[in-house]
Amino acid sequence: MFALDQGEKNRFMFVRPPPRQPRHTRLWLAPYFAIGIFAVAMLVVTALLQWREQDTALSALEGDMHWAERTIEARLHAHQDFLTELGREQEFRQLDYESFQVRASRYVRDNPEIEAIIWVSTSGKVEWVAPHEATATFVGEQLTGERLAALEEAFRILRPVFSPDYSNAALGRSNDLILPIQQGSSDIGAFIALQSLESLLRVTLPATFTTRYSLTVVDANDRVVLSNSSISPTERKISGTISLDLPQNRLGLNIVAYRGGGAWLAFVPAALILVLTLIATITLIQLRRHALRRAETEEQLRAAYAFRQAMSQSLITGMRAIDLEGRITFVNAAFCRMTGFDESELVGIKPPYPYWPPEEFEKLQYNIDTALAGRAPSGGFEMRIMRKSGERFDVRLYFSPLIDADGVQIGWIASMNDITEPKRVRVELERAHERFATVIDGLDSAVHVADADSNEILFANRSFRNIFGHDTVGRNSAVVTAACRPSPEALQVAPGELKPEDLPCELFDGEIQHVLSGHWYHVHERAIRWVDGRTVRVQIAADITERKHFDDINLQQQKRLEQTSRLITMGEMASSLAHELNQPLSAIANYCAGCIKRMQSGNYQLDDLLAAMQKAGEQAERAGKIIRRMRDMVKKSDPNRQPVHLAELIDETRAFADIEAQRTSTQLVVDIPENLPKIVVDRIMIEQVLLNLIKNGIEAMHGTPIDRRRLSIEARRIDERLVEVSVTDQGHGMVDGDIEKIFAPFYTTKAEGMGIGLAICRSIIEFHQGRLWVETRREGGTTFRFTVPIEEDADE
């Protein structure tokens, strides 16, 4: 059961999360809208109801008010009428105290708001009081203040008057209804009804009215006279005002309706609606937050899944998860690619797996058993498995336990690397190195690589080792190759000053003689960046001894050939000359011989002989012409003298001489003053002289050690007319006898010389009005000097 659970869990680890929900960005607002609309509607309905109710209440109030007004007014009129009735009787002296007492007392009894009815004199003195038990006033009392003023007012206008209300100790707020009485035209007194306002209201208005409304009596100045409750009219309450029009007084009655259950009742529905709306909104917000959190979590989950998926798919390493029984629960794309099986073909399969080649079954079964037992080696298994196509390949498989979120192992995850390619690459590399070594060792040239700074030899091929020794790697290149090494001055760049960006860089390319063996090497040296990044010197030295030997031979042959060809040319010229001359000469001989023969035999005709002799003469003339033509030709090769810079001339000569100088490792040193004027010479001829002297000098140093083979060419101005040029060698010098003879034609000290060079040179120089002579130097060597004229108008 537990295992099954684990299996389930394991499977769920690789289950895809729910797909992303489409996002309705505005939809979440709808409930808010609905709630808002609902709340507003409910509030409106409530307000409408409220308003209607108020309206109804207001109409009721108005009805009640009018009714109250009428009732009060009717009662007041009744009082007035009663007083008027009494007054009329008094006027006519029909009323006595007794009847007054009876009638007034009865009236007071019937009308509780009337406290007492009194008869006062014109001065305001109470004379009769009915009922006599009344406590409000008493006989003999003098009316004062407002009451007296009201009385006087009543006499003045002769109409019933209500006094302003006043406070009576017995009755509370009261007022007087004053009815003045005249007898004839004189005032006799006035009947006054003292009425309590409170009683008036209580009596005239039924109890139902007073329980429904709060009543407030106000005087003309809006001062509260009397109130049956503490409620004051406000805008929010249903209220109304009745104006009681009393003669000479005015009282207002404010009526405020009591609300059944209190005023706040009207707000309960609205409050409830608001509270409900609030709750609904809060709930919605909470729900939305929850939904958002949930979406966010889902998004993270998806991202995490996608990341994991991308990771496992993009891995070159094949990944395979198995549960504790070896059942495959997951394979990634790389694994599928390697084996050629689909994911669906592998997931759920227990060993033996389909990619096990039959011949490896046993080994692989052992491996998987070892791995499932947790004894997989940390270095992994190297094994051979099979693609779906049957192709076998080598892999390395690493096992690690698969732990779930609770820390419980649910299986094994194995990573698989295809090692066929690395294996092949390794073999290839080895072979490549072998080929490289074979090729480099097979070279005839000596190749070695040395560190530019330390001169440590990093690499040397077989030819190098053969020349310089077999234990050279690691030693100092300068020491090892000392016998055959370009001198530091000869290098184009000092290796120590090279910056990495200058590489690769040519250091030396030239020929060097091995001091010990005498072999010549063509040494080519470059600075390059070595495989580990440092600057190294790569030197390739090719043995050119034999080639050089051949070159020398070739050069000699070339020279001989040149001379031969010159001879041949001369021979051809002579031959051509001879042939041309032969013709007329032979003809002349023939004519002469023919004549002689004929004359000897005597068998001739004179005309024939004459003609023949004439022809012979013509031929002689022809021969003369040939000779003349030859002389003309020779004449044409006159020297061509031009002003020229000696330096230029020497440069041109050096171009030829350098070949010979390099071959013999001779150093040519030219030292010419800069302000030397131009010389006037035949450029070709003087170059020939210089070349001849340089070659002689180089040849003279044949036996001189290489480091002393130095030929210097100097020039100086000796007077306003001449420049002296000297060519000095460090050669064997000359014996005195030679000096006398060297300029003589056909004299030579050289084995292969013709003996005409110096003679010609001297001729050329003398032709230029100069001199050529030789000096033997005491320290060894010879100096040839010659003078040449300078440009005449170049005098400075």
Contacts to other proteins by CB under 8 A: 571-572, 574-575, 578-579, 582-591, 593-595, 597-598, 601, 612, 615-616, 618-619, 622
Q: Which is nearer to other proteins, 441 or 618 (CB)?
A: 618
Q: Which is nearer to other proteins, 617 or 780 (CB)?
A: 617
Q: How far is the CB of 623 from other proteins (least distance, A)?
A: 11
Q: How far is the CB of 574 from other proteins (least distance, A)?
A: 8
Give the CA angle between residues 301, 303, 306 to the nearest 5°: 110
User: CA 498, 499, 500, 502 torsion: positive or negative?
Assistant: negative
3-state secondary structure 337-353: HHHCCCHHHHCCCCCCC
Q: What is the dihedral of CA 26, 31, 37, 39, to 10 degrees?
A: -150
Q: Which is nearer to other proteins, 620 or 670 (CB)?
A: 620
Distance of alpha carbon 611 from alpha carbon 590, whole angstroms: 13
Please answer whether residues 137 and 118 qualify as being in contact, where contact means their C-beta atoms are separated by less than 8 angstroms.
Answer: yes
Q: Which is nearer to other proteins, 417 or 619 (CB)?
A: 619
Q: How far is the CB of 746 from other proteins (least distance, A)?
A: 24
Distance of alpha carbon 368 from alpha carbon 143, whole angstroms: 132
Angle at which helix 267-314 crosses helix 30-91, to 10 degrees, equals: 170
Q: Which is nearer to other proteins, 102 or 593 (CB)?
A: 593
Distance of alpha carbon 409 from alpha carbon 6, whole angstroms: 9
Per-position DSSP letters for 9-51, written without gaps between them: HHHHHTPPPPPPPP--TTGGGHHHHHHHHHHHHHHHHHHHHHH
Q: Which is nearer to other proteins, 402 or 616 (CB)?
A: 616
Distance of alpha carbon 215 from alpha carbon 257, whole angstroms: 9
> Alpha helix (H) ranges present in 443-486?
462-468, 477-480
Q: Which is nearer to other proteins, 622 or 683 (CB)?
A: 622
Q: How far is the CB of 614 from other proteins (least distance, A)?
A: 11
Instruction: Give the gyration radius of the chain's Cα atoms.
Output: 76
Q: Which is nearer to other proteins, 185 or 600 (CB)?
A: 600
Bridging pattern class, strands 318-323 and 667-671:
unpaired
Please answer whether residues 675 and 630 qualify as being in contact, where contact means their C-beta atoms are separated by less than 8 angstroms.
Answer: no
Q: How far is the CB of 581 from other proteins (least distance, A)?
A: 9
Q: What is the dihedral of CA 260, 261, 264, 270, to 10 degrees?
A: -90
Q: Provide CB contacts within 8 A for 580, sequence distance 6+.
A: 626
Q: How far is the CB of 577 from other proteins (least distance, A)?
A: 9
3-state secondary structure 147-179: HHHHHHHHHHHCCCEECCCEEECCCEEEEEEEE
Q: Which is nearer to other proteins, 275 or 599 (CB)?
A: 599
Please answer whether residues 673 and 717 qualify as being in contact, where contact means their C-beta atoms are separated by less than 8 angstroms.
Answer: yes
Q: How far is the CB of 583 from other proteins (least distance, A)?
A: 5
Q: How far is the CB of 566 from other proteins (least distance, A)?
A: 16
Q: How far is the CB of 618 from other proteins (least distance, A)?
A: 8
Please answer whether residues 456 and 474 qualify as being in contact, where contact means their C-beta atoms are separated by less than 8 angstroms.
Answer: yes
Q: Provide CB contacts within 8 A for 667, sequence distance 6+.
A: 661, 709, 710, 711
Distance of alpha carbon 315 from alpha carbon 177, whole angstroms: 116
Please answer whether residues 151 and 143 qualify as being in contact, where contact means their C-beta atoms are separated by less than 8 angstroms.
Answer: yes
Q: Which is nearer to other proteins, 382 or 618 (CB)?
A: 618
| Beta bridge mates, 450 | 457, 537
Q: How far is the CB of 606 from other proteins (least distance, A)?
A: 14
3-state secondary structure 620-668: HHHHHHHHHHHHHHHHCCCCCCEEECHHHHHHHHHHHHHHHHHHCCCEE
Q: How far is the CB of 604 from other proteins (least distance, A)?
A: 8
Q: How far is the CB of 575 from other proteins (least distance, A)?
A: 4
Q: Which is nearer to other proteins, 75 or 615 (CB)?
A: 615
Q: How far is the CB of 516 from other proteins (least distance, A)?
A: 52
Q: Which is nearer to other proteins, 170 or 574 (CB)?
A: 574
Q: How far is the CB of 615 from other proteins (least distance, A)?
A: 7
Q: Which is nearer to other proteins, 222 or 621 (CB)?
A: 621
Bridging pattern class, strands 126-130 and 446-451:
unpaired
Q: Which is nearer to other proteins, 622 or 732 (CB)?
A: 622
Q: Which is nearer to other proteins, 554 or 576 (CB)?
A: 576
Q: Which is nearer to other proteins, 3 or 578 (CB)?
A: 578
Distance of alpha carbon 463 from alpha carbon 469, whole angstroms: 10
Helix (H, G, I), strand (E, B) or coil at 751: coil
Q: How far is the CB of 627 from other proteins (least distance, A)?
A: 15
Q: In the block, which residue shows the tokens 């797996």?
A: 353
Provide the 10 A C-beta neighbour count for residue 614. Answer: 11
Long-range contacts of range 346-353, CB-CB < 8 Å, 24 or more positions apart?
346/320, 350/325, 350/326, 351/326, 353/328
Distance of alpha carbon 176 from alpha carbon 790, whole angstroms: 167
Q: How far is the CB of 563 from other proteins (least distance, A)?
A: 19
What the block records as the tokens of 567 is 């001879």
